[in-house]
Copies of this chain bind each other. A is one copy, B any other.
Amino acid sequence: MTIKISIDCMGGDHGPSVTIPAALSFLKHEPNAELILVGLEDVLRAELKKRHADAEPRLTVLHASEQVTMDDPLEVALRRKKDSSMRVAIEQVKSGHAAACVSAGNTGALMAVSRYVLKTMPGVDRPAICSILPNQKDGPTYVLDLGANVDCEPHHLHQFAIMGSVLCQASEGIERPTIGLLNVGTEDIKGNEVVKATSELLKADHALGKLNFHGNVEGNDIFKGTVDVVVCDGFVGNVTLKAVEGLARFMKTVLTTEFKRTPITMLGALIARGALRMIANRLNPARYNGAGLLGLRGLVFKSHGGAEAEAYEWAIRRAYDAAKNDVQEHLSAMIAELMPQEEPPTETRDTHDPVQQDRRHGQLPA
């Protein structure tokens, strides 16, 4: 069965010079995929022609006259640029023309526009951003939230646990993913009040056989692979993710500098290039590109803004896999089962102004 993904081709630091080759390479590897390329039609067609792909039948070009830049305030992304490539790509999911959308545009705008266009899934208070990191067991560790929610209550973290578990289950084929709650120690008595209360909620789900809650985990457990899914608030998740990215970049610089220092060390590196290639491959950040915006009424994946074609293709693959594995359906079912449903008020939350909503969460400018 064919699965169609929409791509915001103008988003990110590099735009079509990265998104188009990534899209073409992805199509080559995935015969059941179709792609909707969204952006300035002339630019996209020229890029396709340059790559002799203007007649590819599994590609559609969809014109959008505007672009959300990395510096655009959320108000601009939401209210002024109604024909942005980001928004048009997301609208393809809303209308059912695409099963998922990928963008490398700025995270705040992508989350805000996605919430505005798609709305939040029933039973979910706040969507979260979920990405994967490599671990010593050579598998991925799913981590969420990575920055959508800087202030969280226990029921938010509880929902993140459900969402992360469903994404991991569907994407990795793990029947009951283990869930860890990120904390300053593994003992029950450790942590702040929010974490302790969240632990109680997760234990209750575990006792019912609904979620596979392992207990508290510490920062190093992300890379040990102690659990499949690590849950934290968006402040802690964002800081931690950026810190480990910073360390990885630092270590890469040190490695490169030292091996290039003298002809002898360069010779050594040349002889050991097989090892260096394996190291680069196992730790390759491109392989871990593509974060899911979970808890919306449609699938949206975020690529790193600075991603090159290889990394961007990974983000497309993650969106495709999530669609193929029915992540939305599993998520709806699990949320309906585990979250207490309230009678919706006459005016439901999703009809509110999303900028106002985000302001209440303390994330957006006043």
Known A223-B249, A240-B239; judge A272-B269 contact (CB<8 A): yes
A220 at the interface (CB under 8 A from B): yes
Is the Cβ of A136 less than 8 Å from the Cβ of B274?
Answer: no
A142 to chain B, nearest CB (A): 15
Interface of A is mostly: helix
Chain B hits for A76, CB < 8 A: none
Chain B hits for A254, CB < 8 A: 279, 282-283
A78 to chain B, nearest CB (A): 16
Q: How far is the CA of A366 from the CA of B187 in the complex (A)?
A: 13
Chain B hits for A365, CB < 8 A: 189
A276 to chain B, nearest CB (A): 8
What is the size category of the interface that chain A forms with chain B? 35 or more
Q: How far is the CA of A189 from the CA of B362 in the complex (A)?
A: 9
User: Using a CB-CB cutoff of 8 Å, which residues 265-303 of chain A contact chain B?
Assistant: 265, 267-276, 278-279, 282-283
Q: How far is the CA of A191 from the CA of B268 in the complex (A)?
A: 46
Chain B hits for A271, CB < 8 A: 264-265, 267-268, 271-272
Is the Cβ of B239 less than 8 Å from the Cβ of A232?
Answer: yes
**A275: contacting residue among B238, B245, B261, B362, CB under 8 A:** B261
User: Using a CB-CB cutoff of 8 Å, which residues 98-116 of chain A contact chain B?
Assistant: none
Most buried by B among A232, A271, A273, A363: A271
Is the Cβ of A258 less than 8 Å from the Cβ of B245?
Answer: no
A238 to chain B, nearest CB (A): 4
Is the Cβ of B219 less than 8 Å from the Cβ of A241?
Answer: yes
**A244: contacting residue among B192, B243, B259, CB under 8 A:** B243
Is the Cβ of B259 less than 8 Å from the Cβ of A192?
Answer: no
Q: 6 additional contacts, CB 8 Å, given A219-B238, A220-B243, A269-B275? A: A136-B250, A218-B242, A219-B241, A220-B249, A248-B251, A271-B271
